[in-house]
Structure 1
Amino acid sequence: MILAGILLCFLELISAQDVVKNETFATPEYILPCYKSDPEINKCLRNTFNHLRPYLKTGISDIDVPSIDPLKINTLIMENGRGALRVKASFYNITTTGASNYSIGNIKTDLDKYIIELGVVLPRIEVKGKYDVNGNVLLFPVRSKGDFWAIFLDVEGAGKIYGKEYKNEDGVRFMRIDKLFIDFKLGRRRFRIRDFINHGNVIGEAMNQFLNNNSEEIIREMKPAATLAIAKHFKGFLNAAFVKLPLQVWLPDA
């Protein structure tokens, strides 16, 4: 979700310029322009994303771009119906810190087909919020609701966008996201929950121990559901930005 958040803020920054057909657009200080014809376009885009870091950290109030640190998400719902961990987990009022310390790794594009792939590395991410979990672990029913905290170290994320071109009623060309895929790899991690249902009893503490002692297996089981939920959540926001962003703005020679 951090990766998608960075993509969203990047697009909002560019699309904040007023759009009039055939207008020549000024380049704000926080954008390093790239050209489709550049033989090193991938390197240029990487520099653009990394150049944005200090601006995204503080936010840009005059164009209504919020800080990505903290990054806030209202709701994420993950549902896993297979394997030993069959649960529906709802997370809400999520606050994530540490996203502004990102660095962009490799970027690979095929702009003729509107395909963009990129990797991001984050040294430390802290996440907190509220959760509601209902389901089964092995053969045992689980019902838990409350507050959660998590720390992730050495996070590697990857995103892949498949876009399609379309024109508005004035013939201005845009790109819309058709598919968005998210993946991630976590280094060390630590979880803590305060279970309102089982708080203060042996079940509540046992759940904390279970989460941390089996974090690798839990993440492996829930990862497909997590990546789908994150991609679905951010696809709408990214498209909202893309449909305000004519191709000529972010690719002047497209």
Structure 2
Amino acid sequence: SYVKVCKKNDPDYDGCLANLVENLRPRLLKGIPKLNIPPLEPFTLPALDVTRDMEAIKVRAHITNIVAHGPGDFILNNLKTDVDNLVAEGTVTLPHLEVTAEYDVEGRALVAPFKGKGLFAGNFTNVKIDAKGMGKVVKKNGEDYMQITDLKAKIKVGDSKIKLDVKDDKQGALAQSAASFFNQNRKQLLDIIMPIVQDTAEEISIQLGNRILGSAPMSELLPA
């Protein structure tokens, strides 16, 4: 087969899976079309819409051409699975992450209003992701397939720096002021923004995970 999968009855299934991920790294960087796995390096998303109205932050954002450099250097810190109940949890660290995107956004964070269109560039270091996912079995064309039903992620960022370039000169001062405000208060603002980032990461991961799991039946991905 294209990928040598781990057998369900392997006494060290978690270790086998961790080794499989490491062995697949070169192919993960380029993507594995047969399994619907997109390239990790860089990781791209065509568009993302975010709307939130909370006490500390109000935001409406349309983000396009998202490109992330750094996911390919992920470190799998730990992995724990319960294959019978289709539960998995683990921790991944991204030592560095550089994200660029085009944004059209308006809102406020703490007391700072922001509005504008332009280019976003973010530099993040030591991004730690703790995730736990649950799945179920679904029937498709008479065969069993796995599907992710729930996924929770907790993300911590070591340090960050952002830069905003605006398309509209009239909004330029406001965007620079917002970027400067973010960089000066980044720890506090990351705490406020993180639930939005986590929600978005969970949604994307479930969609992506289910596309991958839908590419092959359970008998191939989780053989006895």
Q: TM-score, normalised by structure 2?
A: 0.89
Q: Which residue of 2 aligns with 1:41?
A: 13
Deviation of the 1:251 alpha carbon: 1.5
Question: Residue 215 of structure 1 aligns to which amino acid in structure 2?
Answer: R
2:201 — aligned with what?
Answer: 230
Deviates more, 1:85-94 or 1:41-50: 85-94
- Please state which structure has a larger fraction of its residues in strand: 2
1:121–1:239 CA distance, 2 compared to 1 (3 A): same
What pairs up with 1:140-159 in 2 under 5 angstroms?
141-159=113-131
Paired with 1:79 and 1:238, the residues of 2 have a C-alpha distance of 23
Distance 1:64 1:35, change over 3 A: closer
Q: Find 1:160's aligned residue among 121, 128, 132.
A: 132
Dislocated runs of 4+, deviation >3 Å = 58-66, 137-141, 197-202
SS at match of 1:112: coil
Structure 1 residues 179 and 201: alpha-carbon distance in aligned structure 2, compared to 1, 3 A threshold: closer
Is 1:112 aligned with 2:121? no
The C-alpha deviation readout for 1:201-231, integer Å capped at 9, x for no partner, is 5333212211211111221111112211222
Query: What is the deviation of 1:141?
Result: 4.0
Aligned length: 224
Show the counterpart of 2:56: 84
State the SS of the aligned residue for 2:198. Answer: helix
User: What amino acid maps onto 1:106 in structure 2?
Assistant: N
Normalising to structure 1: TM-score of the pair? 0.80
| Structure 1 residue 136: Cα displacement | 2.6
- CA contact 1:148–1:191 (8 Å) conserved in 2: yes
SS of the residue aligned with 1:33? coil
Pair 34,156 (structure 1): closer, same or farther in 2 beyond 3 Å: same
State which drifts further: 53-62 or 125-134. Answer: 53-62
Unaligned runs of 5+ in 1: 1-25
CA deviation vs aligned residue, 1:96-155 (integer Å, no higher than 9, x gap): 111111121111111111111122111111100111221233455431221000111111
Find the counterpart in structure 2 of residue 121 from structure 1.
93
Gaps of 5+ in 2: none
Q: Which residue of 2 aligns with 1:250?
A: 221
Specify the SS of the correspondent of 1:227: helix
